[in-house]
Structure 1
Amino acid sequence: MTTLSKKSGWYLLLTFFVSMLFYSCNNSNIEESPSQTPSNQRNGLAGAGDYDILTTTDGFTFTLEIDQDNAQDISHLVFQLMTCEGEYVTIDNFVSATVNGMDWDLTSTTGSGTDCTFDTGDFVKFDDFGFQGGVVTVEFTLDVQAASGTVLIKSGQGCYPFDFEGDCGDDEECVYVTESFEIFAGQTILVGELLVTNDEENLYITYSSTSDDQFAETHLYVGTLEGLPTNRRGTPVPGQFPYKTDHDPAVSSYTYTIPLADLPDCYIIAAHAAMTSDETAWSFGDEFEGTRRWGWYSSYCTQVCE
């Protein structure tokens, strides 16, 4: 009986030490196992939505350069835009769309498995991004002008909104009309036309021959009627006109460019020429008063684009 009891005691003691050793090994394995924390938290990406975004637009074409180096990679974008008339832009208003220069398919539904969307109104989704780091360039063109927009950037579990401005500037180009005045040599011979127009900065006056007769000299006055150079008898003196050119060789067309800043809103144009036929020529208009010499001047007002 005594011998059996001693053996049982040693057996129980040995079992206890083996159990403690097994428990210690298991605890060591648990402490050294990889963390189960989500990767964005494990890597310390506290600024997951810190995207640097540059936008440019003329109201029709929008370009967004999205730098995702300091944030999570983008999975998709959802755009909502308002027209200059206060209506939602729809997917039908998109003429083209690219991402990093590649044509991109668009959808007008959120899809399953995401709550990154707008509660009301139309929106357009750029789906299936797979660009890692770097700058993502999104460009799209509309057939209407947009006043403003919001893009939701979906990445990981986050949904980050970004507002941007559009442009409701006048999309119609200003059209400046060209006026034409006939040029007569020797009072009765039609030899060409004087073409007059302007833009926002300059007045353009072009002598243009429509015959075999060419311009050997051109003399031009633009200003008030009272400022027209004349002699004591009131006869215009083309040689004293402020804009003049000797053309050697003779030309069939010549344009003077005059800054509008030097002119009043309305003024006269007296265009004189010496032709290769040795005839004197004037552009047609109102006759000069107080002189027996023939000649004309025309009236013109600067066109303003409003």
Structure 2
Amino acid sequence: MKNLSHFILSLLLCISLFSCTQDEVGVQTEDAAQQMSARKPIAGNYIVSTSQDGYTLNITIDQSKTQAVSHLLLQVLDCSGNYVDGDNVISSSVPIKFTTGSGTGCAFNNSFSFIKFDNLDIYQNQGIFTLSITFNVPIQSGNILIKSATNCFPFPLNITPNCNTQGTGTETAYAYGGNYATCFRNIGFSRWGWTNGAYTEGDYTLDLYAGAGQCDLSKGTKVGTVTLSYHSGTAVVNYNVTAPYTLEETHLYVGNQMLYTGAVAPGLSPYSGSTSYTINNLSGSVYIIAHAVVGGF
């Protein structure tokens, strides 16, 4: 009897204070379920947009219709079809780390590097989230995994490729040292190219031009640089070719005369087959003829 009295008292309190009829309790439960359903992250609720200006990838995520983002995983391919890694990122507006493995419970192609934006502190902001990443290579495609509080969802990145059309042909290239350069045609040869010098000891950077017939720079393409570091009788020469071009062959002369054995044919050069050369036992001022065969034309 005592327990019955307590039950009746509790029921009266509930009705008078909270109006908790069975029907109203059901409505409240249904409303709560609908709210939870609206917040449940499902594929398509995140709106991902990207744009690319040069080598910069801008990503915007509209998270207003679902749970906030906690982690982002990015896996991106460059124009050669290679996965980018830590060496390819110049800057990012959000701290990143490079890793392999599933990470944060999301499935991924774990054999290759991916960019991980970890533990993003944006749960309080259910609106627009943006990030910007700048690479040192042009990007052609990629995928992003968005992790909310409970689920992961993959989206292909909408990237407009900024890849230069790269051919399979090659061009002859020579280092051009500006005021130090003398065109072969100006010293009695029909072949184009330059001998550069005379250089005293020091550090120098020469432009590497391909296809500059008759030594006309307007006809050529700058494809990289050649550096000369000459100190204490030793010259170190390095070839540097920029993407999308590739270095196929090199021929080098460094010495006290303008030409090697009076000839300009690359095949007669004393050094070949490398991108970096160290030449010892030099003295006085030196000349350099740096020839290359460059691919990508």
TM-score by length of 1: 0.42
TM-score (norm 2): 0.43
The structure that has the greater radius of gyration is 1
